[in-house]
Structure formats: structure tokens, C-alpha cells
Amino acid sequence: KKPAGAPDKSLARQVNKVGVVGAGLMAGQLALLFLRRLQVPVVLTDIDQERIDKGVAYVHGEIDKLAGKGRITGDEVNKLKSLVSGSLDKQAFADADFILEAVFEKMSIKQQVFGELERYVSPEAILATNTSSLSVSEMASTLEHPERVVGFHFFNPVAVLPLLEVVRGTSTDDASLATAFSVGKQLKKSCVLVSDAPAFVVNRLLTRFLGEVIASVDEGTPFEVADRALNPLGLPMSPMVLLELVGPAIAQHVNETMHAAYPQRFGLSENLQRFVEAGKTGVWRTDDQGNQVLDPEVAEL
Ligand code: 3HC
């Protein structure tokens, strides 16, 4: 069944090569998904060779893990590994028809990345962004061909969560959107068309949900109580474990976007800031004096 609002699939263009900009954990997960599902060459890039090598090594490692679980055969291992490459030179993206960026969540950086890519790729190549909350229309606004920019927002862990938010910017044309839906389907994701509103749909709900849990901690509820209060709802993860999975810095970025757009409805939290500063190495607990402290002993996810 055609997703609501999706253009006719006959408009979709064929994708024969994929580019992924960014070689961090999210980008690595995305590269792996494209490789497995589309079985076309996937090229990764980042700001230096070390990051690129790490990204490619991550993908190779995940391919080996899939083989270890019996999900793919030895022949597939070799095929998938031969399809993934890394390059510092954007020329390697010249023949890519679908490029997904998963770089730092800053508008000017994303505009710069797409602006630079435009010099190499064909005018029809799709430029997709995995942004969590930034405006797709604004990202496209500085480009020569803004009509090929789409939001393509995945959820962590990428291999497991079925949802994919597809975002139409003000300039996005039907052929680009149809191609995005076609690729999403090939990736076996459940695609939904969402409007280009701050944080789209899922993250604005998540910000509200996690934000209220943190607000209750800010107001004095012990961390453990707030974190466990939702257990009876049968959620797959408790709120703070989910926050760790999302990454506190990303969560804070989404929160800031929502606060800027709707200051009355979305507050900022010092505790969230403390969590970001502490990184991903522990979760909070209540110490003997009743203070909320970070517990580095708690195992990482
Ligand atoms: N990374 C990669 N894969 C993971 C993972 C992780 N952190 N955690 C679990 N998995 C994989 C496992 O390897 C396993 O794969 P397999 O079937 O190939 O062996 C599969 O997930 C299931 O794992 P489990 O058996 O451990 O299953 P659980 O029942 O514990 O489920 C979960 C794990 C799917 C992560 C579940 O806890 C869940 O759905 N949590 C909520 C996640 C969520 O809400 N994510 C959205 C975050 S918002 C976001 O990403 C948007 C961004 O913009 C902020």
C-alpha cells in the first residue's frame, strides 16, 4: 500500500550507488543497512582518513557478526565487503545517485556538506539528511538544486527499528520524494511522510517524554524512581537507558531545537546538560546525601 502522501512510485529513479557522509556510529549503521538491502556500492566519507577507516572497519566488523549469526553466507560476506569503500575525495561520490548525510547536527555544517557535494554529483542525485530535528527546507535553501533534498530520518538501532520518517522540504520535488520512498521500501522500512516541522513527529514526542522524566528529576524525584516509574507501561527500554542509546548530546540538540521553536512548551534542563557533559559512561543514581550523581560503575549499553 502506498504510504499516505507519497508520490506515484513510477516517478522513482533507480539507485545504483550510495554515498554516506559521516563515518560515525550512526553513519556506519546506515552504510551497513544500504549495503545489505540494496547490494550496490556504498562509499563513506568523513573529515579525515582515520575516521573513514574506522567507519569502514565498523561495517566490515558488522558484516562478520552477521555471518557469525548465520544471517549471511561466506560469499555474501565477500560481496558486501567488496561493495563498501571509503574516500576522502568527494570525486568518489560523482556517480552516486543517493547520498545520505549523518554529520554533526549543525545547520551550517550540513549546508556546507551538501553545497560541496553539489559540485561533484549529478543534478538529479538525491541529497538525503538523517537530521534528528533541523529544517530540511532551510538545509536545501542554499543549494543550486534544492528540489533533490529530502529528510530521511532513521531510529536507533537502525538495523532493528522499522520506522523511517521521510520529510518533504518546501522545494522537494515529486521525483526525489518518490525515489526516497522507493529506497526506504528497499531498505524494508515502514516509511511515513512527515511535515518539515521542528523534530518532525517522533522526536518531538520523545523530547516531551524524556524531558518530563528529566524534569521530574530536576524537581527532586530520585533518578531511579523516575526511571522506573514507567516500567508498568511495558516500554522496551526505561527512559534513561533510551537516553543513553539516543546519545545525550543528540537528545539535548533536539531539545534545544524544540525550545527555540516552542519556548513555552519545551524547557531546558541543567541535569540534561550534566548528562551530556558526562558523556555515555554512566547513569545517574541517588547518593547517600540524596544528590543525583553519575554512576560510572553502571555498565554501558
Ligand atoms: N545497537 C545495535 N543493535 C542492537 C542494539 C544496539 N544498541 N541493541 C539491540 N540490538 C539488536 C540485537 O543485536 C538484536 O539483533 P539480532 O536479532 O540480529 O540478534 C536485536 O537488536 C534485538 O535485541 P534484543 O534481543 O537484545 O532485544 P530487545 O528486546 O532487548 O530489544 C531494542 C532491543 C530493539 C533496542 C529495544 O530495547 C527497543 O526497541 N528500544 C527502544 C529503542 C528506541 O526507541 N529507539 C528510538 C530512539 S530515537 C532515535 O533514534 C531518533 C534520533 O533522531 C534521536
Please state the ipTM of this predicted complex: 0.96
What topology is assigned to 9-194 in CATH?
Answer: Rossmann fold (3.40.50)
Per-residue pLDDT band for 301 (boundaries 50, 70, 90) equals: very low
Mean pLDDT of 82-96: 97
- Catalytic residue, from 145, 153, 253, 259: name it: 153
Centre of ligand 1 to C-alpha 188, Å, is 16
Which of 125, 128, 43, 124 lies closest to 88, judged by CA?
43
Q: Is 60 a catalytic residue?
A: no
Query: Residue 121: pLDDT above 50?
Result: yes
Higher-confidence residue: 106 or 244?
106
Does 9-194 match 202-295 in CATH topology?
no
Report the residue among 104, 160, 190, 256 best suited for mutation to probe ligand 1: largest number of ligand atoms under 8 A from its CB. 160
CATH number of the structural domain 202-295: 1.10.1040.10
Asked if residue 107 lies in contact with residue 138, where contact means CB atoms within 8 angstroms, the answer is yes
Which pLDDT tens digit goes with each residue over 215-247? 888 888 877 788 888 888 888 888 888 888 888
- For residues 256 and 270, give the distance between their C-alpha atoms in angstroms, rounded to a whole number: 12
- For residues 134 and 165, give the distance between their C-alpha atoms in angstroms, rounded to a whole number: 13
Asked if residue 153 lies in contact with residue 130, where contact means CB atoms within 8 angstroms, the answer is yes
Mean pLDDT of the chain: 91
Centre of ligand 1 to C-alpha 242, Å, is 10
Q: Whose CA is nearest to atom 2 of ligand 1?
A: 157
Q: Whose CA is nearest to atom 39 of ligand 1?
A: 236
Centre of ligand 1 to C-alpha 29, Å, is 12
- For residues 206 and 229, give the distance between their C-alpha atoms in angstroms, rounded to a whole number: 16
Per-residue pLDDT band for 299 (boundaries 50, 70, 90) equals: very low
Which pLDDT tens digit goes with each residue over 189-221? 999 999 999 999 999 999 999 999 888 888 888
pLDDT for residue 221: 84
Q: What is the dihedral of CA 143, 177, 62, 200, to 10 degrees?
A: 80
Which atom of ligand 1 is found nearest the CA of 133? 53
pLDDT for residue 23: 79
Where are the domains positioned within the chain? Answer: 9-194, 202-295
Beta bridge pairs of residue 292: 286
Mean pLDDT of 68-93: 96
Which atom of ligand 1 is found nearest the CA of 66? 18
Pocket of ligand 1 (CB under 6 A): 132, 155-157, 159-161, 203, 206, 236-237, 242, 245-246, 250, 301
pLDDT for residue 300: 36
